[in-house]
């Protein structure tokens, strides 16, 4: 699987791609549509390896220097370049009422429980 991914990233040259069919590995279930890849998947193989190494090093730039044989400024510059390429997801906090409604929609709580909590 890793080889196919490396080949795919070489072919696309970092350009965005859309996946149109997804098949579950352990079954014959397939889903067709238009699926965007997550931001990390759009990075080059080298950049993905760099990010995985950074995580394995628990964010230690000193360890990254040793692992890749590069200087501190080089590690910092590469991290900065990668950070600019990745959009961060803004987490929006739901109100307590919205949380109750979402729990009800998921079936996590009963209607009676939702009414009781919303009445407070």
Domain ranges of the chain: 2-85, 90-120
Helix, strand, coil shares of the chain, percent, nearest 5, are 60, 10, 30
Confidence of residue 36 (pLDDT cuts 50, 70, 90): confident
> CATH number of 2-85: 2.60.40, 1.20.58, 1.10.1740, 1.10.10?
1.10.10
Is the pLDDT reported for residue 88 higher than 80?
Answer: no
Is the pLDDT reported for residue 94 higher than 90?
Answer: no
Residues 108-119, mean pLDDT to the nearest whole number? 93
In this structure, how many other beta carbons lie within 10 angstroms of the beta carbon of residue 80? 9
Contacts of residue 90, defined as CB under 8 A and 6 or more positions apart, other chains included, come to: none
Q: Which two tokens stand for residue 109?
A: 């709580």
pLDDT per residue as tens digits for the range 4-35: 777 877 787 767 778 888 888 888 899 998 88
Cβ atoms of 20 and 32 closer than 8 Å: yes
Ramachandran class of 107: left when φ > 0, alpha when ψ lies in -120 to 50, beta otherwise: left
Residues 43-65, mean pLDDT to the nearest whole number? 93
Residues 83-97, mean pLDDT to the nearest whole number? 81
In this structure, how many other beta carbons lie within 10 angstroms of the beta carbon of residue 88? 7
């Amino acid at each position: 699987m890793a080889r196919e991914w490396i080949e795919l990233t070489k072919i696309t040259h970092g350009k965005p791609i859309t996946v149109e069919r997804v098949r579950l590995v352990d079954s014959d279930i397939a889903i067709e549509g238009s699926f965007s890849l997550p931001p990390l998947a759009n990075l080059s193989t080298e950049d993905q390896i760099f990010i995985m190494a950074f995580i394995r090093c628990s964010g230690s730039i000193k360890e990254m220097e040793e692992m890749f044989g590069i200087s501190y400024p080089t590690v910092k510059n590469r991290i900065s370049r990668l950070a600019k390429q990745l959009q961060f997801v803004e987490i929006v906090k739901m109100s307590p009422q919205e949380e109750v409604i979402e729990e009800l929609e998921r079936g996590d709580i009963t209607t009676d429980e939702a009414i009781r909590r919303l009445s407070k």
